[in-house]
Chain A
Amino acid sequence: SAVISQKPSRDICQRGTSLTIQCQVDSQVTMMFWYRQQPGQSLTLIATANQGSEATYESGFVIDKFPISRPNLTFSTLTVSNMSPEDSSIYLCSVAPPAGGAGGTQYFGPGTRLLVL
């Protein structure tokens, strides 16, 4: 399985500001994903980030609020823009190894714990 790191591991931010979260993988992967885990809730997919194409956002999530970059096959960033307390959550990136295909296993990073005051 891939080794995934995220930066920062946690942060406390003021409302109205933005935070960029980084995700680094130790091997090349085509498919990277960003999830949100709100307290007491299920993990929810925000968007799929493929290298060389625009990110695909799930219902309820928009590019202006969660812009994503995917400059190469080992790195991605998620920005949480114009934050409000409702954005307080754990943000997780995951990867799907190339051999997995649709329906294949995803491996998760350690998460970024965000608190917005």
Chain B
Amino acid sequence: EDQVTQSPEALRLQEGESSSLNCSYTVSGLRGLFWYRQDPGKGPEFLFTLYSAGEEKEKERLKATLTKKESFLHITAPKPEDSATYLCALSYSGAGSYQLTFGKGTKLSVIP
């Protein structure tokens, strides 16, 4: 069973059409949940870190939220430049101190 599951695998939106990406996890002892953006041919770019249920972080058109078993990345009025793969990762007490466990990502395409 995957410890981190991202859905959907791919999402196609019209420009301006808001939506949410999901990251659900089965581990216990969460230390932190991380969202990254990865453009083709590049390394992951850090977006947000969330540490406890109820926490929210915002940056431009993106808002990340965290509950006890999942996180959402909300995208408001997306633009074509938001097209990328969005990765979710966890740090938790059952793994190495600095180990990040990644989901497979959601590939977002925003159509003009």
Pairwise interchain contact A42-B102, C-beta atoms closer than 8 A: yes
- B103 in the interface (beta carbon within 8 A): yes
Q: Does B31 contact A (CB under 8 A)?
A: yes
For A101-117 the 0/1 string (1 means CB < 8 A from B) is 01111111111010000
Contact residues of B between 35 and 81, Cβ < 8 Å to A: 36, 41-46, 49, 51
Q: Does A33 contact B (CB under 8 A)?
A: yes
* Chain A: number of interface residues, binned into ranges: 20 to 34
Q: Which residues of A contact B51 (CB under 8 A)?
A: 103
Instruction: Give residues 1-56 of A contacting B (CB, 8 Å).
Output: 1, 4, 31, 33, 40-45, 48, 56
Contact (Cβ within 8 A) A102 B97? yes
| Chain A neighbourhood of B104, CB < 8 A | 40-42
Size bracket, chain B contacts: 20 to 34
Does B100 touch A at the CB level, under 8 Å? yes
Q: Is the CB of A104 within 8 A of B46?
A: no
Cα–Cα, bound, A111→B99 (Å): 18
25 CB contacts below 8 A, A to B, read: A1-B46, A4-B43, A42-B103, A42-B104, A42-B105, A43-B87, A45-B96, A48-B98, A58-B99, A102-B31, A102-B97, A103-B32, A103-B97, A104-B32, A104-B49, A105-B32, A105-B46, A105-B49, A106-B46, A106-B98, A108-B44, A109-B43, A111-B42, A111-B43, A113-B41
Instruction: Beyond the given A102-B97, A103-B97, A110-B42, please list 4 additional residue pairs across the A-B interface where CB-CB is below 8 A.
Output: A40-B104, A102-B31, A103-B98, A104-B91
Chain A residues within 8 Å of B, Cβ to Cβ: 1, 4, 31, 33, 40-45, 48, 56, 58, 92, 96, 102-111, 113
Residues of B within 8 A of A (CB): 4, 31-32, 34, 36, 41-46, 49, 51, 87, 89, 91, 96-105
